[in-house]
Structure 1
Amino acid sequence: MKKLVLYCLAILFATNAIGQFYLRGEIKSDKNIPLQNVKIFVHSARALFQSGNYGSFGFTVSKPYDSLTFTLEGYETKSVYVKTSDWLSVVLKTSADFTSKRKQKLISVIKDYDQTSRYKWFTGDETYFQLVENDYVNTSKFPNTGFSLNINTASYSNVRRFLNTKSRVPPDAVRVEEMMNYFNLYYQEPPAGEVFQLRSHLASCPWNSQRQLLYLNINAKKLLLDKIPPGNFVFLVDVSGSMDDEKRLPLLKAGLQSLVKNLREQDKVSIVIYGGSVAVWLQPTSGKDKHTILTSIEELTAGGDTPGESAIRLAYKVAENSFIKGGNNRVILATDGDFNVGETSEKALDELITKQKQSGVFLTCLGVGMGNFKDSKLQTLAKKGNGNYAYLDDQMEAEKVLVKELTQTFYAVADDVYMNISFNPAMVKQYRLIGFDNKKDALADNDSDLEGGEIGSGNSTLAIFEIEPTDQNRFTTGTAVADDIAHLNLKYGLCNDTSTKNMNYAVKDDWVSFNELDKELRLATAISMFGLKLKQSKFFPDVDWTNILSIATPAVDRADYLQNEFITLVEKAQKIYPDKKKKKGK
């Protein structure tokens, strides 16, 4: 009997020993970089494991030989048959498709042209992308250029915040095209049945008599309020400790509550919060039940760290679960951008949103705060998320973005919108696109692509080129033999449609003196001059603030509060940036 017991124990021990193989190894990229969080699927046990820090892994398996599959976003999936007692060294190759997706994206591009860069400028803990201004371009060598169109307005209200606190503005916070976009100037409804209308004007340049200004105006159709599609809105609200300030969470709460008051029964709202933890604060609720939504917003309080990455994933999941086919499916991220848990770099967030936007859900970013405001991160999120970006510096701005301009902010008529322009070398000797500056690291990437943007209902977008005319241009202006200045090609996609649409337009030589221009184009010029002076642009001469005011003052609409406020901002800037005293004889 004793022998029988010993025999059984020996068999049991042998069985357990056979069933316990410890499989160990490491995973690296084809560039010899350790890879963590690689998913490891064990086929025999149908179990899933992950690699840890430095790409290492170790776990028990029941067989001496087994099949494993390794997967990680951005790398080719790899399956191997291994002897489980051996040390395993795995190399994953970078996916060609993912490399293409991760190309840096440009706002403007001159074909075959190499641009320069400049040093970084920063303030406190706020972060801004290092921008490189567009240079003067020789038309005979580089006649073709392109630029992305969007309806971002964040730069203007952020600049206003600095000036209202009597502070100098970081040059990289000044994005001239966004400052002009802010006012929605020179809008004209497109013809019936058309998504866009293109217009152009040519005029003398107020700061250089030897140059001309070419104005390009792109108008988007208006969606009627009673015919806009139902909205599936997910409010993704940052309630972390950094939002505990009257200009942050309380301002956002008031703005979102104003938005809710304008929702319809067919619209629905969900709320996802992050601050210490991530949670669904409010399940999808009809716009008819305003009391429930408003109460949920009012009960939000700030505290904890900022796990932005996991919150974004959850918000997109909520949006997908309540997706409305043919509707306006949108995550509305409200934050100061200070992510400090999970993926936090602009590059990592770029990759995260690039993947999430495939769901057909748009993204709007609402930025608030100062001191640690992360403009660069919100720019990244909005651009990659098929969306737009606004900065809320006060309650009036929140009302403007979330109530008065509701359809412009949240209802897109087209996405992936960008324009190609081919200048006529016989008429244009040199040209420079004002604004639409590129990120320095995007210019350093030779594989960078031009990235289109989202255009909302009833938006007017302006672009201004400073051009040097040829002698033929000067001598034929106003005559029947005057040649075209350029040809435009507008490319765009309709929302929820994968096809690309094209619109062509010939830019005529319709030169007029600057003072003969429509007053809204003159105001747009003053705004661009204001931005260039704040930016301390090397391409802008030492124009006095009084010169800018002399153009802006007669051009503003006295009944428009925001236009009149612009005059006040120029006057404030004049005190913060006093004009240099000119030497005698100059």
Structure 2
Amino acid sequence: MRGTRLIAGLALCAVIAGCAGNDSSDMAAAPPPPPARAPASQEVLTVTGSRLAKASAADMAYFAPPVVVATDPGREKYDGKEVSPVKLVAAEPVSTFSVDVDTGAYANARRFLTQGMMPPQDAVRTEEMINYFRYDYARPQDRSQPFTVTTDVAKTPWNDNTYLMRIGLRGYDIDSAERPPANLVFLMDVSGSMNSPDKLPLVKTALAGLAGELSSQDKVSIVVYAGAAGMVLEPTSDTGKIRRALESLSAGGSTAGGAGIELAYRIAEDNFIKGGVNRVILATDGDFNVGVSDTKALIELIENKRDSGITLTTLGFGTGNYNEAMMEQIANHGNGNYAYIDSALEATKVLGEEMSSTLFTIAKDVKIQVEFNPAVISQYRLVGYENRALREEDFDNDRVDAGDIGAGHQVTAIYEIVPAGTKGWIAPRRYEDVPAEAARTKLAEAANIKLRYKLPDGEKSRLIEKAVPSGLLYAAALPKGDFAFAAAVAAFGQVLRGDEMMMGYSFDQIGRLAGDQDNFWRQEFLRLNALAGSMKGG
């Protein structure tokens, strides 16, 4: 490793409480004191390994979100899109979009709600809320096709004239023994804006937890940036070294985020593992204010790097000055994923339990295209995915970038559809043509779904096609079980967004639709929904 990269500027030394890469014991900081013990009779859920188990309330306190006073979100930056418009099948029968496996919008909305505020409408992306949860999709039988495709149809709970069509993808799982080696660069913001309990201390907890999940074949480097960028830990598999280096860091100075990203990619390139996972993991509040700080310029920088085989994961932290627009967009363009970490429990979920799906790609550039039959479906709208929309011609173009799916990942998309001949959102047109003969001869098909994907080392895409039978519409009832919960989360997101086509559907109705749940994360959703309802009066 080039010695000139160990520290790029004396300004960095002010935020590092020890020698870079030093393995001596003076780098280890004393652990924080334990929280005050709660009465032993209280029982709550906590995390043990990858499972949720019963533990005392005192243990759970370690996983509670940091205590942060609710702040005005006016300084936070979001890039909200308008709610997807209704499409007439006769005019626009084809819907095309890139898959999205990000979950940050849900965790960020949770942060607002638990602090007593409704999240800004621009902060809500419904597809990320739906995809925060897992559903009962069939496992792939073998790796010849890296994911399964599930479709189902139900009546819409909030509109008697429409139906919901759900598309679910599930990637195959990989055992730890067959994981490829990983070359990870932790890129950490240690600027003054990170000097808050919900920022740098939580970053340390998150990345220390990830370090404990890695194997001897994996390598971790640590790059930090404040007024300057530098490397504080050369590649190592030693968990103790990683954790001591993390603990040595403190916050201070301005934020040269662009310089940090450039250095992190260079370190990743120097240690590139052919056939392995090569990824930069950026942990920041996104408050870049030195050097390359414009989101568009950062996107261009990251797009130039992704073709090298190095992907980018962004982990968002903090409140008040959080730049979510930048975090979500650069992850999309870096062929990675975006998550918001609001507690140590969320860090354990994202970087512990879901590490394989976060890091190990099984299919890349995954696109979905749905063609509706105008003889069966007259109108539709895609719930969410507004910033993932693609042009119809992009679907067959292998040069157009799209989302990736990791091992065990799931992707869910929901369309709201109107059967032909029934009342929809848009009144019939006076001069509307009858459906073409080709459509009328395929009345057994309501829609045709196409998926394109590339294998991780491939450049040519593969195609999967699946027809949605019209019979699913005729037999449809209100959603139940797993589908009902997915519909409830979709409704939750759309109501938070102020979607006028939700027909006045209330948080109370969402809670009844979701039903009783025995899963920790789904139970939390019920509590958040009830909390939102209490703020809005039901």
Q: Please state how far the C-alpha of 1:538 moved relative to its aligned partner.
A: 2.2
Q: Please state how far the C-alpha of 1:520 moved relative to its aligned partner.
A: 1.3
Matches of 2:322 and 2:114 in 1, distance apart? 16
Cα deviation digits, residues 389-440 of structure 1 (max 9, x gap):
0000111000000001110111111111111111100110100001112399
Match of 1:546 in 2: 508
Q: Would the alpha carbon gap of residues 329 and 450 (structure 1) be closer, same or farther in structure 2, given more than 3 Å must change?
A: closer
Q: Which has the larger radius of gyration?
A: 1
Q: Secondary structure, in 3 states, of the residue corresponding to 1:572?
A: helix
Instruction: Note if 1:228 corresponds to 2:179.
Output: yes
Matches of 1:343 and 1:538 in 2, distance apart? 39
Match of 1:505 in 2: 466
Tell me which of 95, 106, 111 is aligned to 1:156: 106
What is the count of residue pairs matched by the alignment? Answer: 442
Moved more, 234-243 or 408-417: 408-417
Match of 2:487 in 1: 525
Q: Structure 2 counterpart of 1:341, which letter?
A: V
Cα deviation digits, residues 278-315 of structure 1 (max 9, x gap):
101101112xx211111111111111111011110000
| Kept after mapping to 1: 8 A contact 2:137/2:150 | no
Q: Structure 2 counterpart of 1:160, which letter?
A: R
| Kept after mapping to 2: 8 A contact 1:147/1:450 | no
Match of 2:327 in 1: 378
Match of 2:498 in 1: 536
Matches of 1:313 and 1:438 in 2, distance apart? 26
Gaps of 5+ in 1: 1-121, 474-480, 580-586
Tell me which of 335, 338, 343 is aligned to 2:287: 338
Q: Secondary structure, in 3 states, of the residue corresponding to 1:393?
A: coil
Match of 1:489 in 2: 450
| Kept after mapping to 2: 8 A contact 1:414/1:493 | yes
Normalised to the residue count of structure 2, the TM-score between the two structures is 0.79
Matches of 1:472 and 1:485 in 2, distance apart? 15
Match of 2:154 in 1: 203
Q: Please state how far the C-alpha of 1:167 moved relative to its aligned partner.
A: 0.5
Match of 1:292 in 2: 241
Match of 1:563 in 2: 522
Matches of residues 394-413 of structure 1 in structure 2 within 5 Å? 394-413=343-362
Superposed CA RMSD in Å reads: 2.2
| Kept after mapping to 1: 8 A contact 2:171/2:406 | yes
Q: Please state how far the C-alpha of 1:343 moved relative to its aligned partner.
A: 1.5
Cα deviation digits, residues 1-52 of structure 1 (max 9, x gap):
xxxxxxxxxxxxxxxxxxxxxxxxxxxxxxxxxxxxxxxxxxxxxxxxxxxx
Q: Structure 1 counterpart of 2:169, which letter?
A: I
Matches of 2:456 and 2:156 in 1, distance apart? 38
Matches of 2:413 and 2:509 in 1, distance apart? 21
Match of 1:117 in 2: none
Matches of 2:377 and 2:175 in 1, distance apart? 41
Q: Please state how far the C-alpha of 1:503 moved relative to its aligned partner.
A: 1.0
| Kept after mapping to 1: 8 A contact 2:100/2:388 | no
Q: Please state how far the C-alpha of 1:483 moved relative to its aligned partner.
A: 1.2
Gaps of 5+ in 2: 1-71, 424-441
| Kept after mapping to 1: 8 A contact 2:224/2:260 | yes
| Kept after mapping to 1: 8 A contact 2:208/2:243 | yes
Cα deviation digits, residues 452-481 of structure 1 (max 9, x gap):
1111111121111111101499xxxxxxx9
Matches of 1:337 and 1:225 in 2, distance apart? 32
Cα deviation digits, residues 249-282 of structure 1 (max 9, x gap):
1111011111111111100000000012210110
Q: Please state how far the C-alpha of 1:149 moved relative to its aligned partner.
A: 0.3
Q: Secondary structure, in 3 states, of the residue corresponding to 1:435?
A: coil
Tell me which of 408, 428, 431 is aligned to 1:458: 408
Q: Please state how far the C-alpha of 1:125 moved relative to its aligned partner.
A: 1.1
Q: Structure 1 counterpart of 2:515, which letter?
A: T
Matches of residues 95-494 of structure 1 in structure 2 within 5 Å? 123-193=73-143, 194-286=145-237, 289-438=238-387, 451-471=401-421, 483-494=444-455
Q: Please state how far the C-alpha of 1:450 moved relative to its aligned partner.
A: 6.9
| Kept after mapping to 2: 8 A contact 1:418/1:451 | no
Q: Secondary structure, in 3 states, of the residue corresponding to 2:501?
A: coil
Matches of 1:206 and 1:383 in 2, distance apart? 32
Q: Secondary structure, in 3 states, of the residue corresponding to 1:324?
A: coil
Q: Secondary structure, in 3 states, of the residue corresponding to 2:365?
A: strand
Q: Secondary structure, in 3 states, of the residue corresponding to 1:497?
A: coil
Match of 2:12 in 1: none
Matches of 1:344 and 1:372 in 2, distance apart? 14
Match of 2:54 in 1: none
Matches of 2:537 and 2:200 in 1, distance apart? 35
Q: Structure 2 counterpart of 1:507, which letter?
A: V
| Kept after mapping to 2: 8 A contact 1:130/1:439 | no
Q: Structure 2 counterpart of 1:562, which letter?
A: W
Matches of 2:297 and 2:327 in 1, distance apart? 13
| Kept after mapping to 1: 8 A contact 2:194/2:284 | yes
Larger RCO (CA within 8 A; separation ≥ 6):
2
Q: Please state how far the C-alpha of 1:499 moved relative to its aligned partner.
A: 1.5
Q: Please state how far the C-alpha of 1:482 moved relative to its aligned partner.
A: 5.5
Matches of 1:363 and 1:184 in 2, distance apart? 23
| Kept after mapping to 1: 8 A contact 2:139/2:171 | yes
| Kept after mapping to 1: 8 A contact 2:100/2:127 | no
Q: Please state how far the C-alpha of 1:123 moved relative to its aligned partner.
A: 3.4
Matches of 2:491 and 2:499 in 1, distance apart? 10
Q: Secondary structure, in 3 states, of the residue corresponding to 1:340?
A: coil
| Kept after mapping to 2: 8 A contact 1:430/1:469 | yes
| Kept after mapping to 2: 8 A contact 1:360/1:496 | no
Matches of 1:230 and 1:487 in 2, distance apart? 38
| Kept after mapping to 2: 8 A contact 1:514/1:522 | no
Q: Please state how far the C-alpha of 1:192 moved relative to its aligned partner.
A: 1.6
| Kept after mapping to 2: 8 A contact 1:415/1:453 | yes
Q: Secondary structure, in 3 states, of the residue corresponding to 1:338?
A: coil
Q: Please state how far the C-alpha of 1:187 moved relative to its aligned partner.
A: 3.1
Normalised to the residue count of structure 1, the TM-score between the two structures is 0.73
| Kept after mapping to 2: 8 A contact 1:131/1:439 | no
Match of 1:94 in 2: none
